[in-house]
A and B are shown apart, each in its own frame.
Chain A
Amino acid sequence: MVSHNILKKYFEQLETGLKNKLESKVTARRKFVYEIARIGSRIFENDWSIAWTTVFVPYEILNSMSVSGMFVEFFGAMLAGTGMSSKYLNLSESKGFSTDSCSYHRTIIGAAMDGLLPEPDVLIGASIPCNGGVKALKRIGEIFDKDVFILNIPIEVTPDAIDYLTDQYKEMIKYVENETGRKLDYDKLKKTIKYNNQARGYLIEANNLCKNVPCPANSNDLKNFIIYVLLQGTEESVEVAKLFRDEFKFRVENGLTGLSEEKFRLMWIQNRIQFKTDILDILEEKFGANIVIDELNHIWWEPMDESQPLKSLANRMITHPIVGPVERRLEVITQLAQEYKIDGAVNPAHWGCRQTAGARVLFKDALQKIGIPLIHLDVDCVDQRNYAPGQIMTRLEAFLEMLSNY
């Protein structure tokens, strides 16, 4: 067993290190990671309660209640990035968790078993994107003898469905109030919507700037930007979004590009590979291949109504492209491919992910219709134990060679 003090130290050191770097030079990426590190640190502060969640829960509500949310997939990714996932995968597997399930989830279950996670005050799981995430949260809850509040995300966009999810958010607030003793500050919640709308505007601008050929960003600038959800509805989220917009705008206006010579523009589907690997560096340096858009970085929702925060949040969730029949997602993938003028798409097809594996053939079909090739890497994005970099690189090289003849 380890102590969660290790985690506390990790976030503190990350925060301090980035703070020092920010004092010498502010970059959007640096500021972004710094703010995430601050969220990591604050789970150990008395002013905040802790929520372990799945990825798609309304952090605006939690932030308004001084509850620091952490989603399990982020944590699995972070442990992979620090080289600790193998230890926790071994541990959870030794207790009977199947190697066919998602390694993001198995990693955090192992970490919870080992005592790395601080005790949550609340656990909140949403039915989207997957049942596996809710199940993982249930198992983590059992370790702390706590149950999980489940949000059922309706799969059709109808007024009734939005009301249903809004009512569930109200129930969730009651649950968090009961468990933490922290009351929702409704004015604060309204303010989160205002921040969200401001940040949304900047992010759309930043993304649009990446449509330039060549792209002002490189493959790493907006890597794993999905974790931005942790900041949603905060003043800091607006600062981060504005920094990205300003940085990309400056680069475009000054003829600066993400890569010195951009030969291939790629779209990445779903999540990146989380453990340390140099494949993206090789792709950039050797082949001039740049990831100009990540599917999950797309801003899909309309501006939100400050006077109806819960309904607006419900509407944003239900209209997410990953909710409901795959057509919605295919439409977005196709739209992104065209708008960002990509040459090819990469789907890691993360082992254990029913969303990417289940729809893989449909991704390929949809992109083929508009003449864009797609490669499925069939890689486990968190479990490094069976990773064969040579094999993956060979396939990517062949893919890029094919693109050059396309």
Chain B
Amino acid sequence: MRRLHDVWKRYVPTKFIHILDIPMGNLSLGSKYLENEFLKLKNALEKYTSTPIKEEDIKNAIDIYNISRLLYNQLNSLRMEDPPLITAGRLMEITSDFFKIEPDVWNEKTRKLIKEIKSETTKAEQKKNPRILLSGSPLHEIEFIKFIEGIGLNLVYEDLCTGSKFFDLNIKESNNLIFSLSEAYLTRTPCARMMQIEERAKQIINNSKKFKADGVIHHSLKFCDTYLYDVPALKKILGEHEIPVLFIESDGGLGDVNQLRTRVEAFSEMIKN
């Protein structure tokens, strides 16, 4: 990521670039350090936009984002039904929107959508297929999600930084909100980069149970060390909990689609049997 920052800065004309150094390891020292990093980011943004960011702005933003988290979780919980009341592909489109539009607009749209889905007479969008939890590197390709669903698997949870994990954040109320934010980001469900595989595996196991997943697909982007190095250890831990795992590696797109199809279909067959 640091090298991406370097290359981006050199070759892609961009008005605002800021590198945020997120610590791993010791929490008490780390949260103080991250607080400083957030303050530096705040200062940089203030300078760039020539607009001061007040404490109440941060409070309001946290409140709005907390509503988004609540709504996402409501939407996500519709997938606890069997068959799920919303497809992963559709949910990912909604999640993807979150990064493109104002959060309060998104909140309003999502609130309406939840009502609509709950009132739909034909509730199920999917058949009763094997239920899968998807974990791994960030994924931006909705086509990839739809492809897996197209094979006859119901994706019921995305343990991804671009999926459910993004909305999984608990910010404590305090008179130092920047510190609360830093603590929240360091104590949230860890991604592979945070080096806490036991905690990561525990969350995958808990969510597999909660969402009644029949198996886990662990996807890693090519060359993504943080996820690639976790694969053998994660497979072992999940195996000890009798959770079937399929590991797939891709560049996020569907370039090697036939090979991928064969592997996912075989995994699906295995789960059905």
Count class of interface residues, chain A: 35 or more
For A100, A171, A357, the residue with the greatest tally of chain B CB atoms inside 10 Å of its CB is: A100
- Known A-B contacts A155-B21, A160-B36, A168-B26; the reply to A96 vs B231 at CB < 8 A is yes
- Within 8 Å of chain B (Cβ to Cβ): is A251? no
Q: Report Cα–Cα, A148/B220, bound state, in Å.
A: 23
- Residue A311 lies at the interface, judged by CB distance under 8 Å to chain B: no
A304-337, CB under 8 A of B: which get 1 and which 0? 0000000000000000000011110000000000
Least CB separation from A113: chain B residue = B232
Tell me whether B229 and A132 are in contact (CB under 8 A): yes
A337-379 interface mask toward B, CB cutoff 8 Å, 1 = contact, 0 = none? Answer: 0000000000000000011011101100100000000000000
B247 touches A355 (CB 8 A): no
- Which residue in chain B gives the minimum CB-CB distance to A137? B195
A324 to B26, CA, bound (A): 20
Which B residues lie within 8 Å of A358 (CB)?
2-4, 6-7
What residue of chain A has the Cβ atom nearest to residue B29's Cβ? A167
Pairwise interchain contact B36-A100, C-beta atoms closer than 8 A: no
A154 at interface by CB-CB < 8 Å: yes
A3 lies within 8 A of chain B by Cβ? no
A353 to chain B, nearest CB (A): 10
Residue from B33, B197, B220, B225 within 8 A of A154 (CB atoms): B33
- Chain B binding surface SS class: helix
C-alpha spacing A191/B30, complex, angstroms: 30
* B24 pairs with A97, CB closer than 8 A: no
Report Cα–Cα, A155/B30, bound state, in Å. 14
Decide: A135 and B225 in contact? CB cutoff 8 A.
Answer: yes
CA distance A357 to B7 in the complex (A): 11
- A164, B233: Cβ atoms closer than 8 Å: no
| B209 interface hit (Cβ, 8 Å) | no
Q: B26 contacts A171, CB within 8 Å?
A: yes
A156 to B21, CA, bound (A): 9
* Cβ-defined contact, B232 with A130, below 8 A: no
| Inter-chain contacts of A327 with B (CB < 8 A) | 6
Q: Is A95's CB under 8 angstroms from B225's CB?
A: no
Residue on A nearest B220 in the bound complex, by CB: A98
The answer on a CB contact under 8 Å between A326 and B229 is no
CB pair A359 B7 closer than 8 Å: yes
Distance, CA A102 to CA B224, complexed state (A): 11
Which residues A98-121 have CB closer than 8 A to chain B?
98, 100-102, 105
Residue of A98, A102, A326 contacting most chain B CB atoms (<10 Å): A98
* Interface pair A130/B225, CB less than 8 Å apart: yes
Q: How far is the CA of A403 from the CA of B23 in the complex (A)?
A: 44
Is the C-beta of B41 less than 8 angstroms from some C-beta in chain A? no
A selection of 6 A-B contacts at a CB cut-off of 8 Å is A98-B231, A150-B25, A151-B25, A152-B30, A359-B6, A362-B10
